[in-house]
Chain A
Amino acid sequence: MSSGHSTYSPKTGIGRWMDSRMPLPRLVHDSFVSYPVPRNLNYAYTFGGILSIMLVAQILTGVVLAMHYANDTMLAVQSVEKIMRDVNSGWLLRYMHSNGASFFFIAVYIHIMRGLYYGSYKAPRELLWILGCIIYLLMMATGFMGYVLPWGQMSFWGATVITGFFTAIPLVGEWIQQLLLGGFAVDNPTLNRFFALHYLLPFMIAGVVVLHVWALHVTGQTNPTGIEVKSKTDTVAFTPYATIKDGFAMVVFLAAFAYFVFYIPNYLGHPDNYIMADSLKTPAHIVPEWYFLPFYAILRAITFNIGPIDSKLGGVLAMFGAIAVLFVVPWLDTSKVRSAVYRPWYKLFFWLFVANAIFLGWLGSKPAEGIFIPLMQISTLYYFAFFLVVMPVLGLIETPRRLPNSITEAVLEKNKGGSAHPAGATAAPETRG
């Protein structure tokens, strides 16, 4: 899009006619064929493509499911079971959609971690990063509302707990909650508006994805070295190089996805959601979907009042803060070096952060009692400390390792130092630096 000079030259008369009126083929060619990408991208860089096909898969299965779903508290469970039992391949569509949400989040978490590791958020890619954060927020809203639609026990009680967060906000909290619910408690109006929004938001995601890709094509991709592209030898053409590599990663990812869909489709769900919603029976433990668990742990870690902020509001602020902090990451990181490959200390703190995030997820599935509360607090502390302390401070005091002069130099150095493998034999180029 921005590479300045387009290499597209239409070969047919129709192509030339089209090109002078609405150069869509040129746009596609420049964006996905001749577009230069760094030659040293590893498999961590394939998740953008994977996320695109997951979004398309979710929209396609979702549209068909919506044709069979009845958006009414009295009918929702029956209509979902009708899909599972009587609709042709309905079970496949529904399991693809419910597991698809989980795999969408798996992919987005890897994508975000990739960004944090290689410093993809740093100038000039701040907007690109923020657009990604917006997509992530929209995904969370979509996932949450989608989970309510089957109208099971966890749907109902999850919705009750999560919309209850808003009552913690002073003055306008109650009003916001009632606006979300369409009443004083989760009921038919809630289900109706959640369904409408669940259908709307994915298209908003698609819109922001266009902006995200646009911004990406303006600045170009980062790469494991974090050094900007300097010459033509640093890059390869998107097609066939990135296309085939992305394609292979997609197949592997889809195989993992298919494994869950066909063999353990309910593994990531909760048995209670096969019980119809009952406003009089509270489940023993209300847990959100797995992809919200780290934030659920952060919410419940705040068990103390901080000045005028009571523990409930404090928990809600911490939870939203945990997401909000992502938006300012480009300005929290003070390091002059982009990639963790050349930052030994940052690398250590980064992997600690990953382990801590997974641990927070596990804690999120545990009741807030006994030893779990201090563990949640320590974990929450590290979560925020990573962004608010490690990122700003480490960038100032850490001595980075020597940077190569260019991507090409880094690649040649690696291949020379590697072993007797001929070029290209390093099939899984995991850049260890």
Chain B
Amino acid sequence: MKKILNGLAAISFLLAGAAWAQENAPAAQPHDMSTMGAAAPSEHNAAEPTHFPINAPKEMDWTFSGPFGTYDKAQLQRGLKIYKEVCAACHSMNLVAFRTLEDLGYTEAQVKAFAAEYEVQDGPNADGEMFTRKALPGDYFPSPFPNTAAAAAANNGAAPPDFSLIAKARGVTRGFPTFVFDIFTQYAQGGPDYIHALLTSYDFEPPAGMEIAEGTHYNPAFIAGKSLAMAKPLSDGQVTYEDGTPETVDQYSRDIAAFLMWAAEPHLVERKQTGFAVMLFLALFGGLVYATKRKVWANVAH
């Protein structure tokens, strides 16, 4: 038996040596399937960035961060206004129903009136015809385009993404060791931070020598390249706020990002509040169990 094992060990040593030798040979093609479909990198140019986003998003203060975070309803209402007046022209929000807008502090009647401003297709009726009618609270935000192909056709071939989950579907990789600290700081705002960064980074000029593709817009906060198809969507004073909040791109960006976080995670506040009760229970219960354990084991050396 021992001889067999020694033989095994010898073989593995040999294999190890072979692996080392191979490593020094010219690099073979790594079969990283994850780079499948990605464009081959062009010849290196000092002005051409290789990692995106060029600028990491800045961490903002959000009312919904931390263990006791809650949504600021006034902010969500402002965000909804921006979505309705600006974003909704291109971006759908298929998974959000009008009825859920009551979370933003609106009354049932207000939600009904808000929904009635939209038209949705319904049917077929008794004659077999499809018809349009005013939306009801039970309906979902209608899409600006009849289908994805139409959305792409109207936008230079790139369909604008749906907004229902965008605040959870975007996040810049945090890297070591930040991702470890994120556990303890409960950092879960990568999405809103990114949205805010993207919307406020349109005014940067591309460095000299950097080529920006025709029909795209330079944005150093963009997660997947140096420029994107969407032109700068917000400018100062574009959306009127009735509550005296500054009408700046920065404020707009915070408000839409907060609103999109709500759209993606409508039960966030309930989750954190439930969490507090659960943690409290576990701490108390754990204390009792520990005291019992001490008593049970008190006379047993172990």
The interface of chain A, by Cβ under 8 A from chain B, is 39-41, 78, 81, 84-85, 91-92, 95, 161, 164, 236, 240-241, 244-245, 247-248, 251-252, 254-255, 258-259, 261-267, 271-272, 274-275, 282-287, 300, 303-306, 311-312, 315, 332, 334, 362, 367-369, 373-374, 377, 381, 384-385, 388-389, 392-393, 396, 411-412, 415, 423-424, 426-427, 429
Contacts and interface: CB of A to CB of B under 8 A. Distances in A.
Contacts of B28: 303-305, 311
B297 A261 contact: no
Contacts of B267: 84-85, 91
B74 interface: no
Contacts of A247: 289, 293
Contacts of A389: 9, 12-13, 16
Contact of B301 (A95, A303, A304, A415): A415
Contacts of A311: 28-31
B18 interface: yes
B95 interface: yes
Nearest to B298: A424
Find the residue from B37, B171, B301 having the highest chain A CB count within 10 A: B301
Interface string B136-170: 00000000000000000000000001001100111
A357 B75 CA distance: 45
A241 B272 contact: no
A262 B34 contact: no
Nearest to A426: B302
Contacts, number: 192
Contacts of A300: 30-32
Contact of B34 (A95, A274, A285, A377): A285
Contacts of B190: 271
A303 B289 contact: no
A254 B282 contact: yes
Given A275-B169, A377-B19, A284 B296 contact: no
A300 B67 CA distance: 39
The 6 residue pairs across chains A and B that have the minimum distance between CB atoms: A262-B275, A282-B37, A368-B32, A274-B169, A286-B34, A388-B12
B31 A85 contact: no
B168 A271 contact: yes
Interface of B: 2, 5-6, 8-9, 12-13, 16, 18-19, 22-23, 25, 27-38, 67, 95, 97, 100, 161, 164-165, 168-171, 176, 182-183, 186-188, 190-191, 224, 264, 266-267, 270-272, 274-276, 278-279, 282-283, 285-286, 289-290, 292-294, 296-302
A311 B271 CA distance: 47
A420 B246 CA distance: 67
A285 B36 CA distance: 9
Contacts of A368: 30-32, 34-35
Contacts of B224: 284
Contacts of A385: 12, 16
A312 B28 CA distance: 11
A332 B5 contact: yes
A130 B190 CA distance: 42
A303 B183 contact: no
A312 B36 CA distance: 14
B285 A251 contact: yes
A367 B35 contact: yes
Contacts of B271: 91-92, 95, 262, 265
B234 to A, nearest CB: 23
Given A244-B293, A384-B12, A424-B299, A306 B18 contact: yes
